[in-house]
Structure 1
Amino acid sequence: MGAEGTVPDRGAIHADAESMARAVGTGDHVALIARGTVDAWHRRVERAAPGSPDRSYLVSLDDTVRGAAATATSGTTPQSRQVTNSVVLATAEAPFSGAESFRAVLSEGLSDAADGGTVVVDDPSAFVPADADPGAVVEGVLAVADEFGVEFHAVATGDGAVVAALARRLSGADTDADAAIAAQSLDYLRETDPTNFGYLRRYWREARRGLTAVEMTYPQSKQVHAALSDPETTSRTLGAALQALVKLGALGVWGDTVAANRYDLTQFDPARIDAVGAALEALDD
C-alpha cells in the first residue's frame, strides 16, 4: 500500500481567488462558486488568466446566480443555461453530496472533445456535508477529477478539516498559499488534537532537522530521532510532532500494512513545514 501524499500536476491550493484565477488554462473550465458570484469570477478569469478558456461552465453554489441564469434546483445535476457560445451558467445546491455530485457537474460541464482542463472551487467546504468524513470526500472528489483528466484548484478557506484534507493531497501554489494552508490547518489541529499541536509547537524545528538528517526513505520515529544530535525530544514526543505534520500535509505516512508510525520522506515538504513554523511563531497565546 502506498503513501498518502501530494500528486504533481493534480492541481493546487491557493491563498486567494486571484491566484486561483491565474491557474485557469485555455481548455475547458469548470468553476464552483460559493463565496462570490459567477459573474465576478468570470471577469476575474478574463483579467488574470493567461488565456481565455475554450468553454466555461460556471456553477453558483447558492440559491441565485446574479446575471442571466436558471433557478436553483435540487438533485445532483445542476440546472444550466447557455449565455454565450463559450459560457454556460448553472446553479446547484450546497453542500454537495461528495464525489457523485462532482461527477455530475463534470459530466455536464466538460465538452465531449475536452482534453484536460481546470476545475476551481472557491470554498472546498461546499463539497462536504456536516456529517461526512472530509478526508474520504476529498479523496473521492480528487479521484473524479483524475478520472476526467482535469486539474483541481481550491482556495485555502472554509472548514479547517477540509483544508487539511486537501493539504495532504495537493501542493500549495506558492509561499502565500503555504502560509494560508498552515494557518487554516493549525486552527483545525489545535481544536481537534491539542496534545500533538502542543508537541508540534514546541518541537517543530527538531522534527524538521530530524527529517532532513535521517538517511532512510521510510523511517520510523525512533530512526528519525536517532539521526538527531543532542535532541531535546524523546522518540515519543518527536513522533507526536511528526504525526501532527502528517495531519498538516507536510509529511507522508506509509500505509497501515507496514507500520502506523513509518513516514514517507518522498512526501516531506520542507517549505510547508517552514510555513507551519512561521504560523506557530506568530501565535501570541
Structure 2
Amino acid sequence: MSTVTAERPTIARPGVVALGISRIGYEVRSYFRSPDAVFFTFLFPVIMLGIFTSAFSASGNIGTAPDGTGGISVGAYYLPGMIAAGMLLSGVQNLAVDIAGEKSDGTLKRLGGTPLSPTAYFIGKIGQTLVTGTLQVGLLLAVAVFAFGIALPTEPAAWGTFAWVFLLGIITSALLGIALSAVPRSGRSATAVVIPIVLVLQFISGVYLQFNQLPEWMQNVASLFPLKWMAQGMRAVFLPESFEALEPSGAWDLGLVALVLVGWLVVGLVLSRLTFRWIRRDA
C-alpha cells in the first residue's frame, strides 16, 4: 500500500527590488497626506523664489556690464539655488525627520517583523524622494516661466547636465537623509536637530546669498558638503556662460561636481546601512 504525501504549495515571495518598488507608491501617498512635509519641503523653494524675485527685482539685473547692459533677472539668478535647495529638502530634511518619527511611533518596529528588508525600505524612500523631487522641480520651473518670465535653457546639452546633476543630487540627499535620521533621539526632537543643519547649509552654499560674495573660509566650508556642488551644477545649467567666471575656480567644474556627488552618494549609502535600525539600540 503506497502512501501519498501531499506537497505544500510553494509561495513565491517577491524579491527585494519588487518590494521596494511596491513601497514607493505607499511612501508617495503618505508624503502628500502630511501637510507640514508638503509645505516645508515641496512648496518652500517655490515660495522662496517668489519672495526673492519680488523683494529684490527693483534693484535691477544681476551681472550687468558697466554700461548697464546685460545681466539676468534676480529670479533667474536664484532659480538654480532654489532647485538645489529643493533637492536637499526633499531628501535630507524630509527623510531624516520622517524616519525619526517612524522610529518613535513604532512604525519601523512593526515593519521589522514583515518581509520588508532595509534595502527594500531604502528603495521605497529613495523612490518617494525621486518622485516628489521631480514634481517639485517641475512646479518650480513652471512658476519661474509663467509667473516670473524666466527663460529656460534650450540646448539639449544643458538639459542633459540637469538630468545627471538632479539624479545624483536627489539620490545622495535621500541616502544622507536616511543616515541623518539616526541622530535625533526621538521624533519630537528631529526637526530641532535637522532643520538648523539644512538651513545653515543653504546659507553658506549659494542658495540665498551670492556664493562669490561669501568669505573665502565660508566657501571652503561649504565645499565640503554636497549642496554647494548641487547648486554649482545647476548654475552651469541655468546661468549664462559669463557667470562661470564668478565661481571660485573660474569654471563650472562639472567633472568635479560629479566626483563629489558620487563620493557623497557612497558615503550616504554606507552610513545608511551601518546606522539604520528597525529599533533604536538605546530604546
For normalisation by structure 1, the TM-score amounts to 0.23
Please identify the structure whose Cα radius of gyration is greater.
Answer: 2
For normalisation by structure 2, the TM-score amounts to 0.23
More helix by share: 2
More strand by share: 1
